[in-house]
Amino acid sequence: MNAPVYNFAYLDEQTKRMIRRAILKAVAIPGYQVPFASREMPMPYGWGTGGVQVTASILGPDDVLKVIDQGSDDTTNAVSIRNFFIKTAGVRTTTSTGEATVIQTRHRIPEAALGEHQILVFQVPIPEPLRFLEPRETETRRMHALADYGLMHVKLYEDIARHGHIATTYAYPVKVDSRYVMDPSPTPKFDNPKMSNCAALQLFGAGREKRVYAIPPHTGVESLDFEDHPFERYRLDGTCAFCGANDSFLDEVITDDRGGRMFVCSDTDYCETRRSQSGAAETMAEASVPR
Amino acid sequence: MTDTLQEEPLLIAEGLSKSYGRQLGCRDVSFELYEGEVMAVVGESGSGKTTLLNLLSTQIAPTAGRVLYRMRDGVTRDLAALGEAERRLLARTDWGFVHQDPAMGLRMGVSAGANVGERLMAVGWRHYGRIRGSATNWLHRVEIDPARIDDMPVTYSGGMRQRLQVARNLVTQPRLILMDEPTGGLDVSVQARLLDLLRGLTADLKLSVVLVTHDLAVARLLSHRITVMRQGEVIEAGLTDRVLDDPQEPYTQLLVASILPP
């Protein structure tokens, strides 16, 4: 019943062709926002319509798809988008980062290193890094064209003046290939260094704003900062309650209403891989935690 | 003044005309402005003063004529022939523009320090401490308490905002400042303080200024030369004292005569 209703991966071939052209242009000009004719998707804006369109247009029948939402394979957004592609493309899906060839992500980069055979697709709500500083689209485009990025530092200056340090923790602006300033989508700034010289192709799709941009493999990505206030990764000070990792990005989970809390890996696949490697030693800890 | 007299002019306007369809903005305005010279443009509302200022700052394109500017490397160039990137760089390093309404010249959403530091960051300063040091220094020079460096301009009074706007423009040590009614909307005592400050700064920094105003008292206090405009044309130009004390044109005589005696 599924097969005849949709074209492979929902979008028709002409639409995919249009999006692929935009992607090619984006790859050719790293960090540059390429406009494309974003389609209505069977989900609301803000749920990843841009990422879904990019994924749909690069997906082939042999691909293995992984979808994560805040690092997790089993939250609403991830589950529904994975089911969408199971239904419309019939591709194999996985939760393993290593096995996947296409990974669609909402706001995290997996902890495991990515390889050249992989493509990471980001869902982007607001692609314009200068938007809240300069409301005019005509002006921000001109600023990009002239590499006129002083304003971006005004924002960082304000952070330091108000908080004593650069308080931007997500959507931290980066400069791609020493040219375009880009919004890395609302990923935590912990993930920023992973973007630089990444072996995988990184594609960014913004459905409502109708923009596609990209970081080609092995491209330098630099987080903006001041000489006397250099960029710093941020991570909660703790270890994962499940796998004991002290190098992964952590989520804080409130466990009761008396101040009880614990930290767990945001990347569920990374956490599970570590636990299966270290054997059953952790089952005690897991059993004691209500899920 | 002797050494500057031998130099080339900093800014040259050649036969500048601008018409908005059938409506005339200004017609055939020519002048030369030397380094360290303050020129006032006076005239009633609608006489083409602001059009002239917008032409000089290349915000609008002239219908006829051209504007020449001597760059820092000493070469005089036609501004219309510059690329947009060059024009922007010029506007934010070598020029300043003081608007009548400070809200137009300032970023009201960011602190005073960031307002002053924006130009520095735009030309590549990447050291927070040095940017802040420079901002503090400039706030001090325009008589704003440096303790208010992290306050938003919306919390400033009208006079302070105008002084902040001046500091924001002067931080890159420009050579040419264009001012559009800088004292408009301020009460008399605040005006006097601002004028005193501007007079000191223009003299200290040897700034060239084109000052658009309808207030002849402001022109007398600040400028070396006066250009009187009416219906888009220059009707009289000369040294400030000469024009104000011995006006030749009937319209200028009327202007001078309409100042209330102190």
Model confidence pLDDT, tens digit, residues B140-150: 999 999 999 99
Higher pLDDT, B260 or B239: B239
User: Cβ A154–B107 below 8 Å, yes or no?
Assistant: yes
User: Would you give the distance in Å from CA B256 to the centre of its chain?
Assistant: 23
- As a whole-number percent, the residues of chain B with pLDDT over 70 amount to 97
Q: Does A286 score more than 80 pLDDT? A: no
What are the chain A neighbours of B149 within 8 Å (beta carbons)? 161
Give yes or no: A198 in active site.
no
Mean pLDDT, chain A, as a whole number?
92
Q: What is the pLDDT of residue A75?
A: 92
**What was the pLDDT predicted at A283?**
52
Structure confidence at residue B246 (pLDDT): 93
At residue B157, the pLDDT reads 92
What share of chain A in percent tops pLDDT 90?
Answer: 89
From the list B209, B205, B204, B244, the residue with the least C-alpha distance to B223 is B209
With CA atoms as reference, report the closest residue to B101 among B171, B182, B29, B41: B182
- Strand partners of residue A67: A104
Taking only the tens place, the pLDDT of each residue in A30-39 is: 999 999 999 9
| Two tokens, residue A169 | 């923790």
Cα atoms found within 13 Å of the Cα of residue B85, Cβ hemisphere only: 8
Radius of gyration of chain B (CA): 18
pLDDT of A258 higher than 90:
yes
From the list A31, A71, A198, A205, the catalytic residue is: A31
Which of B116, B119, B128 has the most A C-beta neighbours within 10 Å, making it the best mutation to test the interface with A?
B128
**Average pLDDT, integer, range A172-182:** 96
Say if residue A166's pLDDT is above 70. yes
Q: Do A160 and B128 touch (CB under 8 A)?
A: yes
Interface contacts (A, B; CB < 8 Å): 53
Query: pLDDT by residue (tens digit) across A100-130?
Result: 999 999 999 999 999 999 999 999 999 999 9
Cβ–Cβ below 8 Å for B129 and A158: no
Distances (CA, A) of B113 to A79, A130, A216, B104, B151: 47, 20, 38, 17, 8
Helix (H, G, I), strand (E, B) or coil at B83: coil
Q: Is the pLDDT of residue B7 over 90?
A: no
Q: What is the pLDDT of residues A266-281, one digit of tens each?
A: 999 999 999 998 875 5
- Confidence at residue A3, expressed as pLDDT on a 0 to 100 scale: 52
Quick check: B52 pLDDT over 80? yes
Q: Which residue has the tokens 């960031």?
A: B114
pLDDT at residue A170 is higher than 50: yes
Q: Please determine, for residue A17, whether its predicted confidence score (pLDDT) is greater than 90.
A: yes
Assigned token pair, B204: 């200290």
Judging by DSSP bridges, how do beta strands B64-70 and B11-20 pair with one another? antiparallel
Give catalytic status of residue A271 as yes or no: yes
**Average pLDDT value over all residues in chain B:** 91
**Residues A48, A51, A71, A243: which is the catalytic one?**
A243
The mean pLDDT value for B159-171 works out to: 94
Q: How far apart are CA B128 and CA A97, in angstroms?
A: 40
CB A281, CB A259: distance < 8 Å = no
What ipTM does this complex have? 0.85
Contacts B88 to A, Cβ<8 Å: 146, 148
Mean pLDDT computed over A188-193: 96
Chain B residues in contact with A223 (beta carbon < 8 A) = none
**Minimum Cα–Cα distance from A150: chain B residue:** B122
CB atoms within 10 A of CB B115: 26
Long-range contacts of A251-254 (CB under 8 A, 24+ apart): A251/A70, A251/A71
- A157/B121 touch (CB, cutoff 8 Å), yes or no: yes
Collect all residues with Cβ–Cβ distance below 8 Å to B77 and sequence separation of at least 6.
B68, B69, B70, B71
- Minimal Cα–Cα distance from B135 to chain A, Å? 12
Q: Which residues of B touch A150 (CB under 8 A)?
A: 118-119, 121-123
What pLDDT score does A101 carry? 97
- Find the mean pLDDT for residues A131-159: 92
Q: Which of B126, B139, B150, B168 best probes binding to A when mutated, by most A CB atoms within 10 angstroms? A: B126
pLDDT digits (tens, 9 = 90+) for A222-247: 999 999 999 999 999 999 999 999 99
For residue B6, the model assigns a pLDDT of: 55
Q: Which residue of B has its CA nearest to A165?
A: B128
Are the CB atoms for A148 and B122 separated by under 8 Å? Answer: yes
Q: Which of B143, B170, B171 is nearest to B159 (CA)?
A: B143
**Cβ contact B122–A146 (<8 Å):** no
pLDDT at A291 (0 to 100): 44
pLDDT band at B1 (very low <50, low <70, confident <90, very high): very low
Report, as an integer, the average pLDDT of B215-219.
89
Q: Closest partner residue to B113 among A153, A161, A225, by Cβ?
A: A161
Partner-chain residue, chosen from B85, B126, B149, that has the shortest CB–CB distance to A226: B126
Q: Read out DSSP for A104-162? A: EEES---SSPP-TT-EEEEE-S---TTTTT---HHHHHHHHHTT--HHHHHHHHHHHHH
Residue among A64, A117, A59, A67 nearest A93 (CA): A64
Q: Which residues of B touch A164 (CB under 8 A)?
A: none
Confidence (pLDDT) at B44: 85
pLDDT digits (tens, 9 = 90+) for A205-215: 999 999 999 99
Q: What is the mean pLDDT of residues A243-252?
A: 93
Query: In chain B, whose CA is at the least distance from the CA of A145?
Result: B85
Write out chain A residues lying below 8 Å of B132, CB-based.
161
Q: What is the pLDDT of residues A47-93, one digit of tens each?
A: 999 999 999 999 999 999 999 999 999 999 999 999 999 999 999 99
At B261 the pLDDT is 67
- The minimum CA-CA distance between B169 and chain A, rounded to whole Å, is 15
User: Å from B106 to nearest chain A CA?
Assistant: 13
Q: By C-alpha distance, which of B99, B87, B100, B109 is closest to B155?
A: B109
What average pLDDT score do residues B26-52 get? 92
- pLDDT at residue B189 in the model: 87
Subunit contact B118:A226, Cβ cutoff 8 A: no
- Flag whether pLDDT at B2 surpasses 50: no
Q: Do B117 and A157 touch (CB under 8 A)?
A: yes
Nearest 5°: CA angle at A24, between A20 and A30?
A: 135
Task: Please determine, for residue B230, whether its predicted confidence score (pLDDT) is greater than 60.
Answer: yes
Q: Look at B118 and A150 and tell me if their CB atoms are within 8 Å.
A: yes
DSSP state of B38: E
CA distance B163 to chain A (A): 20
Contact B52, B234 (CB under 8 A): no
How close is the nearest chain B Cα to the Cα of A160, in Å?
8
Q: What is the 3-state secondary structure (H, E, C) of A70-111?
A: CCECCCHHHHHHHHHHHHHCCCEECCCCCCCCEEEEECCCCC
Token pair in block for residue A217: 């493999």
| Per-residue pLDDT, A287 | 46
Q: Indicate the residue of B88, B110, B119 with minimum beta-carbon distance to A158.
A: B110
**Among A149, A153, A222, which would you mutate to test the B interface (most chain B Cβ atoms within 10 Å of its Cβ)?**
A153
Q: What is the structure's pLDDT at B243?
A: 94
Nearest to A154 among B84, B121, B129 (CB): B121
Read off the pLDDT of each residue in B51-70 and give the average, rounded to a whole number: 93
